[in-house]
Amino acid sequence: MNPFLELRNSAEFARLRTASAELGKNPLQVQGPGGNTSLKKNGRMWIKASGTWLAEANERDIMVPVDADRFCVALNAGSESAEDTASFLASVEGAPALHSSIETSVHAILDTPVVLHTHCVATIAVAARTDAEEIVRHRLAGLDAVFIPYFKPGLDLARGILERITAKTKVLILGNHGLVATGDTVKEALQRIYEVSCLLEPVAIARGAEPNSDWQRSLKGSGWKAAPFPTTQSLAFDDHLLALANGNSLYPDHVVFLGPGCVVANDTETAAEAAVRGSKARSERKLVICPGQGVAVPETANAATLTLVRAFGDVLVRVDPSAELERLTDEQEDALINWDAEKLRQSLNSTESARA
């Protein structure tokens, strides 16, 4: 039997799909089309396709075959072909005609059968701190964890990982990005995801808030609506959280789906007016905070966008009040906004969806 088909037909692949769906349905781990999972054996790998949702892993065929060995040879040789992970897709009967994940290179270079990558909000709240490496060293002692400073997702990140991991590394905390756990089995890697998430989760989390009712009514007909998440709404009613929100982005998917950072309206602006001002400065912004009133998003916001709106609040309420943050620079944000690979992923989620 074809080795790719043998791997796809295995019990472990079925377990990967189940674990993928479990993680994908947990908004504290994965938001919309974010995150990715893979299973490999003897240089053959199945990995989540770009733009697909892990939450649907048991209902849709979202995994594509990749020749991981051939990719690693190209990467180690410094070949330009490594820049295009799509060129390492394998031809396998019945495989979906989809593009491999942006993080294909990261999964390929990690020498374990199972790799799980999530955008765990508790992890991001730590990974965006200036002292993140020290926190990882202390809180995750004994878990063979390594902190990786921020690199652009994809090949740059894979190269940065190769420079820092050892044969013992089992957990990666990606600066301003998320969590990677590896394992010989799906069960082992999944257990590591939850163990790290638990260890990094703060003891106390700020409560949510409701938008001002008059303000919410004033949005009618403006093209904007109140964000439907109490935790995100709390950003408009807490001076500390507002200060955390008002700056450059903290992680890539925020940039890709919401635009760089957010817009904080002044006292004389409506949400729509603030959005126009903020979008003129750089690129389209899809999150407006009106202090003391509420947080607004476009009425046309699709399911993927809304999951990132929720994540913004979920991350910020987990940031230690005494922490200093390492934000993405303008250049790093622009690199994500103008990246063809991310434009492709965003386009796959551009229409309104019934997915929650």
Q: In what order do the strands lie in the sheet with 44-48?
A: 63-67, 44-48, 36-41, 114-118, 178-183, 171-174, 145-148
- How sure is the predictor about 1, in pLDDT bands with cuts at 50, 70 and 90? confident
Task: Give the burial class of 305: count Cβ atoms within 10 A of its Cβ; 0-12 exposed, 13-18 middle, 19 or more buried.
Answer: buried
Confidence check: pLDDT of 49 > 50: yes
pLDDT tens, position by position, 150-179: 999 999 999 999 999 999 999 999 999 999
Tokens found for residue 310: 């929720």
Over the stretch 207-225, which tens digit does the pLDDT of each residue have? 899 999 999 999 999 999 9
pLDDT the model gives residue 341: 52
Q: What is the pTM of this model?
A: 0.94
Cα distance between residue 113 and residue 184, in whole Å: 5
Q: What is the pLDDT of residues 53-81, one digit of tens each?
A: 999 999 999 999 999 999 999 998 989 88
Q: What pLDDT shows up at residue 355?
A: 44
Q: Beta strand 114-118 with 294-298: parallel, antiparallel or unpaired?
A: unpaired
For range 340-344, the mean pLDDT: 53
**Other beta carbons less than 10 A from residue 281's beta carbon:** 10
pLDDT for 310 equals: 98
Strand segments, DSSP code E, in 207-323 are 224-226, 263-264, 288-290, 294-298
pLDDT of 351 reads: 43
Which of the four pLDDT bands, split at 50, 70 and 90, describes residue 322? very high
Cα 271 versus chain centre, distance: 26
Question: Could you give the CA distance from residue 185 to residue 46 in angstroms, rounded to a whole number?
Answer: 14
Q: Which amino acid is at 309?
A: V
The arithmetic mean of pLDDT across residues 250-268, rounded, is 96
Q: Mapping DSSP to helix (H, G, I), strand (E, B) and coil, where does residue 40 land? A: strand
* Pairing outcome for strands 224-226 and 294-298: antiparallel
Please give the pLDDT value at position 338: 84
110 closest CA partner among 44, 52, 170: 170
